[in-house]
Amino acid sequence: MENIDQTRSLRALARRIHDGNCVLVLGPGASTDSVESREIPVHVKLAKKLAGELRLSKEDKKDLNSEDLRHVSQVLWALKRSSTLLQEEVIDFYRGYSGKTNEFHRNIAALPFRVCITTTPDDFLETALIQTGKKPMRDFYNFRSARITRMAEPTVDCPLVYHLYGHPDEPQSLVITENDLIDFLTKVISKAPPLPEGLIAKLSRSESTCLFIDVGFKNWYLRVLMRSLGLYEHSEMSFALEGSDFFAQSKQHQTIVYFSASKTPIDFHQDSLNLFVSNLRAAYEQIAEPSRQTVPEPPPGAPVVFLSYASEDREIVERLGLRLNAAGIAVWMDKQNLRAGDNWERILTQVIEKQVNYVVVIQTPAMLRRNEGVFYEEIDAALQRQKRMKEGLRFLIPVCAGDCSNLPTLESLHSISVTTDSGMNDLSRAILEDWNTRAPALATAS
């Protein structure tokens, strides 16, 4: 029974990733290095290196956890009293991993995550993303400065990799010691400085879910951090992969019950990182494969829908077009329907006036940021035709793909959210129901 449930959970997670509704939160255990034919986390290797520099009595060494990086760093800082020297030593260590990655990160990079939060200063994930042909955008939090960044809209090809605990690009941003962690939490909670608005918006969307990988749910501060990040607003189940140390602790059941019964439930699993991500990638490819196949032609007499969108959103639009096709709705898209040499501006009016039955405007944050675009002309032409139609019939249908509101010119029209499967189904149903009300009149006219 457990295996069946795990398979279903994995499929559900893969579907959310496919639909663009999953944020990756990556803990430190995924970045590993081979030591004596054994893979150990890079942060543990650093902790052991720093612990080797400590000159402690045998009694004091008994109390030292040489695999806990923040604990070891705190002891080292207390002896040396120099944050700058400690920062430089950590940066030198991670420089040795520049350009390196591993199988786990390559499998993760093959999945279409748009937002990835990492809790380590290494570049394993960025390197893997670049190797797959993507162009990751890097950003990070600096709890010691008022650094505020305006993030561009992440896409599958240009995902955001956000280093929550800082990055070597700004050494003072690194959260190294236990004191640093407390100061970091204080700054995040008090929003001084705040995390990027765009990141919080992505994390706090009710339809979003998270994939937590080895983030360390056994740590007391994680619940506080999750609330500050807006991760208690999700309506869907999130997924957490934790190691054996989490499941071996005496209070792990209490933690699981807390999150299972919370407003934002989390499904906890234990597995090896490489096996898990390999299975997840296979589950995703099974879901994604049908969408790459040729969808049967809509039946004769099917409604024809024109999709109006910003060029940055082509991937979202193509996915929506496939869903409409599968529902028996014909789709008119510039890439598919224009011939070589066609002048789009010249035939725009003819297409919207004569060749299609509906215009669907796919609004996204990218569209709302644009001050110019051909889609504005398309919307104007569609509004003119809508005015000539019988009251109660739909022609111009605004939809929202992401966290956005209607364009000012469309505020009077009801919009449909298409960020989920059910939202896409709502759109198909709205078109077909309206089309069926027109069918008798069309039959009489013919």
Higher pLDDT, 123 or 313: 123
**Residues 329, 282: one domain?**
no
**Residues 268, 150: one domain?**
yes
Q: Is the dihedral of CA 394, 400, 405, 409 positive or negative?
A: negative
Higher pLDDT, 337 or 334: 334
Residue 314, SS3 per DSSP = helix
Report d(CA 234, CA 64) in Å as an integer.
39
What is the DSSP secondary structure assignment for residue 35, as one 8-state letter?
Answer: E
Peptide bond into 193 cis (omega under 30): yes
**Residues 407, 353: one domain?**
yes
Paired sense of beta strands 32-35 and 38-41, if any: antiparallel
Q: What is the mean pLDDT of the chain?
A: 85
Token pair recorded at residue 440: 């008798």
Picking from 287, 305, 321, the residue at the C-terminal end of a domain is 287
**Residues 244, 327: one domain?**
no
Higher pLDDT, 43 or 149: 43
pLDDT, residue 338, reads 43
Banded pLDDT at 363 (limits 50, 70, 90): very high
Can you name the residues that pair with 241 across neighbouring β-strands? 213, 269
**Residues 322, 394: one domain?**
yes
User: Which CATH number characterizes residue 387's domain?
Assistant: 3.40.50.10140
**pLDDT of 123 over the 70 cut:** yes
User: Span 130-154, mean pLDDT?
Assistant: 87
Tell how far CA 169 is from the center of its chain.
Answer: 23
CB 417 within 8 A of CB 206: no
Higher pLDDT, 61 or 439: 61
Q: What is the pTM of this model?
A: 0.67
pLDDT, residue 93, reads 97
Which pLDDT tens digit goes with each residue over 22-54? Answer: 999 999 988 988 777 688 999 999 999 999 988
Q: Which domain holds residue 163?
A: 2-287
**Residues 228, 85: one domain?**
yes
pLDDT, residue 223, reads 81
**Residues 11, 120: one domain?**
yes
Distant-in-sequence, close-in-space partners of 445: CB < 8 Å, separation ≥ 6: none
pLDDT, residue 294, reads 53
Can you name the residues that pair with 270 across neighbouring β-strands? 242
264 located within any domain: yes
389 located within any domain: yes
**Residues 282, 313: one domain?**
no
292 located within any domain: no
Can you name the residues that pair with 161 across neighbouring β-strands? 116, 138
How many C-alpha atoms does 414 have within 13 Å on its Cβ side?
7
Picking from 287, 312, 328, the residue at the C-terminal end of a domain is 287
**Residues 249, 301: one domain?**
no
DSSP 32-74: EEEETTEEEEHHHHHHHHHHTT----HHHHHT--TT-HHHHHH
Q: Other C-beta atoms within 10 Å of 369: how many?
A: 12
**pLDDT of 233 over the 70 cut:** no
**Residues 389, 355: one domain?**
yes
Domain count within the chain: 2
**Residues 170, 39: one domain?**
yes
Report d(CA 338, CA 344) in Å as an integer.
8
Token pair recorded at residue 99: 């350009």
Phi (first) and psi of residue 98, to 5 degrees: -60, 130
pLDDT, residue 439, reads 64
Higher pLDDT, 279 or 60: 279
Report d(CA 294, CA 322) in Å as an integer.
9
**Residues 362, 337: one domain?**
yes
Banded pLDDT at 392 (limits 50, 70, 90): confident
Paired sense of beta strands 160-163 and 137-140, if any: parallel
pLDDT, residue 4, reads 44
Picking from 287, 315, 343, the residue at the C-terminal end of a domain is 287
Block residue for tokens 């005015």? 387
Can you name the residues that pair with 399 across neighbouring β-strands? 362, 416
Which pLDDT tens digit goes with each residue over 91-106? Answer: 999 999 999 999 899 9
pLDDT, residue 337, reads 46
CB 363 within 8 A of CB 399: yes
Q: Find the helix packing angle between 69-80 and 178-190, rounded to 10°.
A: 110
Among residues 155, 255, 159, the alpha carbon closest in space to that of 215 is found at 255
Token pair recorded at residue 205: 């969307």
Higher pLDDT, 318 or 430: 430
176 located within any domain: yes
Among residues 125, 80, 118, 85, the alpha carbon closest in space to that of 101 is found at 125
User: Span 217-225, mean pLDDT?
Assistant: 84
**pLDDT of 346 over the 80 cut:** no
Element (H, E) at 419: none
